[in-house]
Each structure stands twice: as C-alpha cells, then as structure tokens.
Amino acid sequence: MVLLNFSWLEGDSIAACAYPTSNDALADLEAHGIALVINLAERPHDPEALARHGLVELHLAVPDFTPPTPEQLEQGTAAIERARASGQRVVVHCAAGLGRTGTLLAAYLVHGGMAPAEAIAHLRALRPGSIETPEQRAAVEAYARRRAPRPKA
C-alpha cells in the first residue's frame, strides 16, 4: 500500500488518509473500492488521473492549519451522507490527513449524533493527531451548535 496515514473511520465505508500524491496511491484508493474523494487540501487532483481510477473528487480547498468553513462542513457532511446512502465508499484527505480531515470527520460524527468532545475523542483514538488547532476544535463545536434544535418561543 502506497497510501500514507490511511485508516477506516466507520467499518469500511468512510476512510481518511494523507494526500494521495501518486498514481499508485490513487490505484490503492480504487483497490479499496473508494468512489468519492473529498479533498480539503488547497491543490486539486488531476481530473484525468482520478477518472482513470474511477474516482470522483469534491474539492473543498482549505488553507493548512485552518478549519473548513461552516459551508464546507455542510457540503462535506452532505456529500458523505449521499455517498453512504448510495453504497459508495468515501475517503477524506488534506495534506497529512489530520487537521482539516479530522475537522470534517468529527463534524460528520456530530451530524450522526455524537457530542463534539465525544466525536473528537473517538476520532483521535482512531487517528492520533487529528484536529490540530484550537480553531479546528472550535469549528466542530460551532457545527454542533448550528445543528442543535432551537427552543420554541
């Protein structure tokens, strides 16, 4: 396997890794049955290289060591939901597969009902080093607040 920092988050439907930089790394994604690549790095993949391996990219460019925006977290979690609903496997990556990747994956766990602290702890147990900055942690907490039901007046 050429993929760096690759691991499954939920069974074998959602994975994370470092930026797959080579044709061999893309071939590894294909071998794992990945269909959707959610790329949080600033640099997009070559569309032709992805197509050769049956991969589709959702590129949500996020500067290194910053959190995805609220809109990017919504787009990313919705894309994971759609892919899972259609039986597709998903991989999320940034550069190292920790900060930006961890932020989106923790938001996805919050989307599924986990509290932010629980989601971050769960993710860090599976992928040590995930969520690298206080701003990334705050983005997960803010995502949870936006999703919380509002009290009726």
Burial class (CB in 10 A: 0-12, 13-18, 19+), 103: buried
Residues of the chain scoring pLDDT < 50: none
**Residue 118 within any structural domain of the chain:** yes
C-alpha 21/C-alpha 29 separation (Å) is: 12
What pLDDT does residue 11 have? 86
Residue 2 located in a structural domain:
no
Q: What is the pLDDT of residues 64-78, one digit of tens each?
A: 999 999 999 999 999
The number of folded domains in the chain is 1
1 within a domain of the structure (yes/no): no
Concatenated DSSP letters for 39-52?
Answer: E-SSSPPPHHHHHH
66 in any annotated domain = yes
User: Is-catalytic flag, 17?
Assistant: no
Is the residue at 138 inside a domain?
yes
123 within domain boundaries:
yes
Note the pLDDT of residue 141. Answer: 98
- Residue 109 maps to a domain: yes
The boundaries of the domain holding residue 17 are: 7-147
Catalytic residue, chosen from 40, 58, 80, 94, is: 94
What is the pTM (predicted TM-score) of this model?
Answer: 0.94
Kindly report the CATH number assigned to the domain that includes residue 98.
Answer: 3.90.190.10
